[in-house]
Amino acid sequence: MKAQILIVEDDKDLIELLEYRLSKEGYETLGFLSTKNVKKVINEEIIDLILMDRNLPDIEGSEFISMLREKDGMDIPVIYLSAKDSKYHVREGFLRGGDDYVTKPFEMTELMLRIEAILRRTKKNSQANNVTFRDIHLDLNSRIVIIENREVELTKLEFDLLHTLIIHQGNVLKRDFLLKNVWGKGAGYQGRTVNVALNRLKEKIDPDKSKDYIKTVRGVGYTIQ
Amino acid sequence: MKAQILIVEDDKDLIELLEYRLSKEGYETLGFLSTKNVKKVINEEIIDLILMDRNLPDIEGSEFISMLREKDGMDIPVIYLSAKDSKYHVREGFLRGGDDYVTKPFEMTELMLRIEAILRRTKKNSQANNVTFRDIHLDLNSRIVIIENREVELTKLEFDLLHTLIIHQGNVLKRDFLLKNVWGKGAGYQGRTVNVALNRLKEKIDPDKSKDYIKTVRGVGYTIQ
DNA sequence: ATTAAAGGTTACATATTGGTAACAAAATAT
DNA sequence: ATATTTTGTTACCAATATGTAACCTTTAAT
């Protein structure tokens, strides 16, 4: 899907130029001469990136963005366009991660490269590596576990165990299988090892035993389904 | 900031002429009669462009540049100066993208135009290039670190480590990953190397341990989120 | 209901892992 | 060359995750 880029810039000609080039690069554009209707549009449209003039007649572009971020939790990356000397402003620390800064006059090609870079970066962040079962969500990158909208802290072993169970959901996993796949050893463990680990996990993900995520299959192993 | 141009040319008079004209155009210059100390200077100074004689008495100029590029990852654009009757030809393909070639005797003005063009093209490197996490701001060009509006001094290793963590924020980075990406070696380090480095960094960016920027994920690695 | 087998629970021992400080080596600056 | 800073290494300590064993509970077959 085409990325939508919102432009806020008081120079009409520059908007036109930007829109021309951006559409040639395959982006959708929305141009605004002031911040007037921007907030509304942001709430209604899916905007991937904002090109923001920093020196607008009515309000500081970065002020406006900060406000949106703080008050509305706006999270769209921004590239600021500014005539002012960059060094001075960069130090100010108004830039967030993912944001960038380009001084006018700028090379159109350079701007395109930066836009591309930012869009690539944010796209990647949103393509998280998740695994889900009912209301259990595992993020494999951050190793964060969310159960019923609450974050649950699991140890490495517990996380790996739950991960394995969910990947193979619907199957009953035998102790040997779990030992091999989670503990990673052919043998060397005896007795209740898997047993205890499983029950520790059960306790953590469902303390009041109301959800019954993990089922014990007597004589065989464990399953999640 | 003025661009710094390094000149390697065995003709003393030509160096002088170049330096005279370049400084008139507003560039800083560094002249060398041979490649002898060039490598050292490149590592110490911020050089924006190299003017390199291709027919040096001791070594082929382009040989020298290739070596720097391959072995040290040198990435500065080069304009080669070469006598027209030289046995070497442009066709040889020793030019990289961004590099250029000028035959002696050359029009000074033409050379200036080419220099300008190359610098304009590579200028993006000197522009805002930042990375941010919460109230930590890294300026990748100046390598200045601002935390809570205060400048914090980090060593190279610490800076690179923090940079890597922030780029991959949200993900838990394993020791192996950090070793490869920050230390840049397949192996060769043992024991608590990563460990100690991380804790030194933690101490510097959050001395009173109130911010908890970097989290240890036991059994896995470290993360910033 | 009795019983035996399987799984759950608990407490504790042990192993793993990370933090820390001190020092050595390497890199840098003077 | 010498001093200083940075980085790697080691040894030790603290935290905590995990394995184990002993004991308890549940299940299901009789």
* End-of-domain residue from the set B104, B126, B148: B126
Min distance B49 CA to chain A CA atoms (Å): 19
Same domain, B136 and B166: yes
What percentage of chain A exceeds 70 in pLDDT? 85
The pLDDT score that the predictor gives to residue A174 is: 92
Residues A116 and A181 in one domain: no
Check if A140 contacts B (Cβ < 8 Å).
no
Could you give the residue ranges of the DSSP H alpha helices within chain A?
12-24, 38-44, 61-72, 86-92, 108-126, 156-167, 175-178, 193-205
Residue B37 in this model has a pLDDT that exceeds 90: no
Q: Over the stretch B67-92, which tens digit does the pLDDT of each residue have?
A: 787 666 677 889 988 876 554 554 44
Domain's final residue, options B126, B144, B168: B126
Q: Tell me the pLDDT tens digit for each residue of B162-183.
A: 999 998 888 899 998 898 889 8
CATH number for the domain spanning A81: value is 3.40.50.2300
* Interfacial A residues in 158-187 facing B (CB < 8 Å): none
Which residue of B125, B137, B146, B215 to mutate against A (max A Cβ within 10 Å)? B137
pLDDT of residue B116 exceeding 60: yes
Which H/E stretch holds residue A101?
strand A100-103
Confidence of residue B126 (pLDDT cuts 50, 70, 90): very low
How close A180 comes to chain B (CA, Å)? 18
Contact A31, A18 (CB under 8 A): yes
HSE, CB side, 13 Å, CA atoms: give it for residue B62: 17
AA identity, residue B55? N
Given B111, B126, B141, the domain boundary residue is B126
Query: Do A31 and A136 lie in a common domain?
Result: no
Nearest CB neighbour to B170, from listed A86, A95, A142: A142
The predicted-structure confidence for A92-134, as pLDDT tens digits, reads as follows 545 665 677 776 667 787 788 778 778 876 765 555 678 899 9
Report the run of H or E that residue B19 belongs to, with start and end: helix B12-24
* Partner-chain contact B169 A97, CB within 8 Å: yes
CATH number for B176: 1.10.10.10
Q: Is it true that the peptide bond before B105 is cis, omega within 30 degrees of 0?
A: yes
Cα-trace Rg, chain B:
22
Number of domains in chain B: 2
What span, in angstroms and rounded, lies between the C-alpha atoms of B136 and B69? 33
CA distance A112 to A26: 11
How far apart are the C-alpha atoms of A62 and B144, rounded to whole Å?
21
What distance, in Å, lies between the first and last C-alpha atoms of chain A? 35
The more confidently predicted of residues A62 and A144 is A144
Taking only the tens place, the pLDDT of each residue in A182-208 is 988 655 667 789 999 999 999 999 988
- Residue A173, pLDDT > 70, answer yes
Same domain flag for B46 and B106: yes
Q: Stated in angstroms, how far is B200 CA from C20 C1'?
A: 10
Distance between CA A23 and CA A30 in Å, rounded?
A: 10
Q: Are residues B165 and B113 in the same domain?
A: no
Q: Within window 147-206 on B, which residues have Cβ closer than 7 Å to strand D?
A: 153, 155-158, 183, 188-193, 196-197, 200
Q: Are B140 and B32 within one domain? A: no
Length of chain A equals: 225
The secondary structure element, H or E, covering residue B199 is: helix B193-205
The verdict on A216 and A135 lying in the same domain is: yes
Triad A161, A163, A169: Cα angle to 5°:
100
- Which helix (H) or strand (E) segment holds residue A32: the answer is strand A28-32
Calpha distance A89→A103 (Å, rounded): 10
Q: What tokens does B32 get?
A: 């060398």
Are residue A120 and residue A10 in the same domain, yes or no? yes
Return the nearest residue to D22, CA–C1': A192
**CA distance readout (Å), B115 to A31, A197, A215, B55, B217:** 36, 67, 72, 20, 50
Say yes or no: A138 and A174 in one domain. Answer: yes
A144, amino acid identity: I
pLDDT digits (tens, 9 = 90+) for B38-52: 887 886 677 889 999
Q: Over 60: is that where the pLDDT of B151 sits? A: yes
Residues A139 and A213 in one domain: yes
Q: Say if residue B81 is in the same domain as residue B34.
A: yes
Q: How confident is the model at residue A89 (pLDDT cuts 50, 70, 90)?
A: very low
For residue A43, which phi and psi values (nearest 5 degrees)? -75, -25
A147 and chain B in contact, CB less than 8 A: no
Contact call for residues B221 and B173 (beta carbons, < 8 A):
yes
Find the domain containing B79 and state its range.
4-126
Please state, in angstroms and rounded to a whole number, the distance separating the CA atoms of residues B146 and A82.
22
Claim to verify: residue B138 and residue B86 sit in the same structural domain: no
